[in-house]
Structure 1
Amino acid sequence: MNLYRSARAVAGASGDSVIDWQSAADGAKAATDPGSLDLEPGEREAYARDVRDARAAVRSVSGADFDVPETIEIQNRHHWIDANVETFERVMGALETHTGAFPGVARTINTGTMTVLLSFLGRNVLGQYDPLLLAETPDDDHALYFVRPNILKAAEALDVDPDRFRRWIAFHEVTHAAEFGAAPWLSTHLENRMQDGIADLSEGSFNKEAFRELDAAMTVVEGYAELLMDHAFDDEYEDLRRKLDARRQGRGPLQKLFRRLLGLGLKERQYERGKNFFEHVVAVRDLETASRVWDHPDNLPTHEELDTPGLWVRRLER
């Protein structure tokens, strides 16, 4: 970690865009310890085995037709930053022509903000199956990411078996693969909602409806993943969830501020709200009915239906 080199990268931001993405990536990596990729014997195969087992279990309980990437990437933190900076650049492209009255100052501030964000996420992301990575080139091979240093660090902090924790992360990410495999339209739907909102922000207005639609869709994504985890994971995991929640509550004020600014508290609310929605649907109907959310974008529940699942069930049965 070299904070001086990180600050130099940000101070040297240049170009015509509102963010110098290369400088942001360089600055984030300079401020972030990459972590070790010295794998134990058999560890790479263990990751692959967890993913294969998760695929078989999730296919069995969901009935969804999906596959997982051929490449299982075991990354360090710098690899994750490099893999994601292009996605951030693409999604935030609507900002690129809005440099303001003082473009050099704005570029440096924006680049510094993105540096901090990438560094924070790079130190905290455990695994990733990111739909936005798929939207631009859906026919290309894509990878399921595991950030090994973060998984080991989190397992140690939670005082849980690292192999069991890694397997839990693998199952969670594979549930997302099932969702996007069952709904080929979903990645484009999410990215369009996000880009609509960012485009309006760049013009000085707030597209409330675009962000509400994005929030509702992500609530469904996270809630359905939790539903599949309940049915597919081959071990109890409530203790893992409880320990993770307790760890989040015990974070220092600076980390809590970062989580709030990054919307990570919103993501936790999406987990709970989405899980409650699908638990109700399965209780009054079944998992097959719940899976109908992926048949068409019009089947996604509205915010009112997320809070009153019976409305959604009745709408689909008309």
Structure 2
Amino acid sequence: MSADSDSGTDEVPVGARIDWSVAATVGRRIARPGPRTTGYTLNQAREELFDAARRAEAPVREVTGLADGLPVPAAEVLDRKEWISAAAQSMSSMLGGGLSDEEKPSPSITGRVSGLQAGGLLAFLSGAILGQYDPFTPDRQSGADGVLMLVTPNVIAVERAIGAVPSDFRLWVCLHEVTHRVQFSANPWLRDHMLDNVALLTTDTGESGAEALRRITESLRSGRKRESGVLGAMQLLQTPEQYEAFSRMMMLGTLLEGHADHVMDGVGPGLVPTVGRIREAFDKRRNRPQNPLQRIMRALIGMDAKLAQYIRGKAFVDEVVATVGMARFNAVWTSPETLPRPAEIDEPRLWIDRVL
């Protein structure tokens, strides 16, 4: 028996075994500093992001028809190290399977090693995240689930890189992230749906290495149609139940991101004068060539799959809204059963026929 053995860990979600305090510490230590800027410019950007997040709420609610009458919580405007701390807390909550701090296992050698690895990933992501709606972390002011986070140095870095008008770019970023806040605020069941599927994905199946190898070999021999790239690897490596949960999460993410992009196109031209230039420059930046290390990291964390989500999801929302209108489209938020299925994302008429 190794020093890392812990009786009963089979019942503990994999994510709960990661030492997230180590992840946060390591991530903060190795995170790259933000762009050089004066204190005045940094404070001005922070204040403008606070204000932009507040101003974005009303037009997003008007276009979507969601969350009307609910309170508008303030956003949290963070630096990279603050985002790492918040993200580690969120990951602990999301991947902990609902366990309280007292129920989670004591930190172990494996947990600390996993924490080191997670810290490296958080450090990498801390330089890429512009904004994020986190449905798993309580708002510090209201105590309600969910907080909108905006990462000031990254916003400044990108607006400089693409030559955007700062005030326009900051509002543009907030429109996207506020749409996510509206989605979850108006439909609280989305959070539980995500947690249920994450629990399936992170549960230790008890499958031995030999059993997993046999299952993968049989799948390869069967000739069944599989996805390509990272998605195909996930399909092979996960149990059928886990892959179904993974597919549901992918479809939900595709809907959420596509809906947010649709809303940005609907709201943006009236609020952001240079939205056309921002969209063009931002898309070029997202698709520009990366060095080999960046390409590997993008593949490992699924960033390319996420970019595909924006495109497929927006096309789905665009077509459904154009066909039936936003009010009827909003039936998609009724329950897990009304979310689009994989075949329906690329054939919106199938979703319309099934749900409407």
TM-score normalised by structure 2 residue count: 0.75
CA distance in 2, matches of 1:31, 1:161: 31
* Counterpart among 236, 239, 249 of residue 214 in structure 1: 249
User: Mean Cα displacement is larger for which, 259-268 or 38-47?
Assistant: 38-47
* One-letter code aligned to 2:150: F
Where does residue 57 of structure 2 map in the other structure? 55
2:321 maps to 1:282: yes
Whether contact under 8 Å (1:222, 1:274) holds in the other structure is yes
User: Mean Cα displacement is larger for which, 47-56 or 211-220?
Assistant: 47-56
CA distance in 1, matches of 2:301, 2:113: 17
CA distance in 2, matches of 1:91, 1:229: 28
Residues 177 and 91 of structure 1: is their aligned pair in 2 closer, same or farther, counting only changes over 3 Å? closer
* One-letter code aligned to 1:239: R
CA distance in 2, matches of 1:220, 1:183: 14
* Counterpart among 283, 297, 302 of residue 258 in structure 1: 297
User: Mean Cα displacement is larger for which, 268-277 or 229-238?
Assistant: 229-238
Encode CA deviations 1:30-80: one digit per residue, 9 max, x unaligned: 111454793546544422332232111112212212546533221110100
* Counterpart among 173, 184, 202 of residue 180 in structure 1: 184
CA distance in 1, matches of 2:184, 2:40: 30
2:111 maps to 1:72: no
* Counterpart among 155, 158, 164 of residue 160 in structure 1: 164
Whether contact under 8 Å (1:81, 1:119) holds in the other structure is yes
Encode CA deviations 1:151-175: one digit per residue, 9 max, x unaligned: 1011111221222111111111111
* Counterpart among 127, 132, 139 of residue 123 in structure 1: 127
* One-letter code aligned to 2:351: W
CA distance in 1, matches of 2:316, 2:254: 9
The offset of 1:243, in angstroms, is: 2.3
* One-letter code aligned to 2:120: V
User: Mean Cα displacement is larger for which, 171-180 or 39-48?
Assistant: 39-48
Cα root mean square deviation, aligned = 3.0
Whether contact under 8 Å (1:87, 1:132) holds in the other structure is yes
Q: Which runs of 5+ in 1 are unaligned?
A: 1-13
2:144 maps to 1:140: yes
User: Mean Cα displacement is larger for which, 189-198 or 201-210?
Assistant: 201-210
Encode CA deviations 1:65-118: one digit per residue, 9 max, x unaligned: 254653322111010011110221233336977x9xxx73x4454223201111
CA distance in 1, matches of 2:185, 2:342: 24
Structure 2 residue matching 1:301: 3-state secondary structure: coil
Where does residue 291 of structure 1 map in the other structure? 330
Structure 2 residue matching 1:130: 3-state secondary structure: strand
CA distance in 2, matches of 1:280, 1:222: 15
Residues 255 and 202 of structure 1: is their aligned pair in 2 closer, same or farther, counting only changes over 3 Å? farther
Q: Which runs of 5+ in 2 are unaligned?
A: 7-15, 209-237
2:247 maps to 1:245: no
User: Mean Cα displacement is larger for which, 64-73 or 143-152?
Assistant: 64-73
Where does residue 19 of structure 2 map in the other structure? 20
Residues 182 and 20 of structure 1: is their aligned pair in 2 closer, same or farther, counting only changes over 3 Å? closer
User: Mean Cα displacement is larger for which, 60-69 or 267-276?
Assistant: 60-69
User: Mean Cα displacement is larger for which, 87-96 or 188-197?
Assistant: 87-96
CA distance in 1, matches of 2:299, 2:87: 21
Larger radius of gyration: 2
* Matched length: 299
The offset of 1:245, in angstroms, is: 3.1
Mapping of residues 292-311 of structure 1, within 5 Å: 292-311=331-350
Where does residue 9 of structure 1 map in the other structure? none
Whether contact under 8 Å (1:222, 1:275) holds in the other structure is yes
* One-letter code aligned to 1:257: I
Where does residue 7 of structure 1 map in the other structure? none
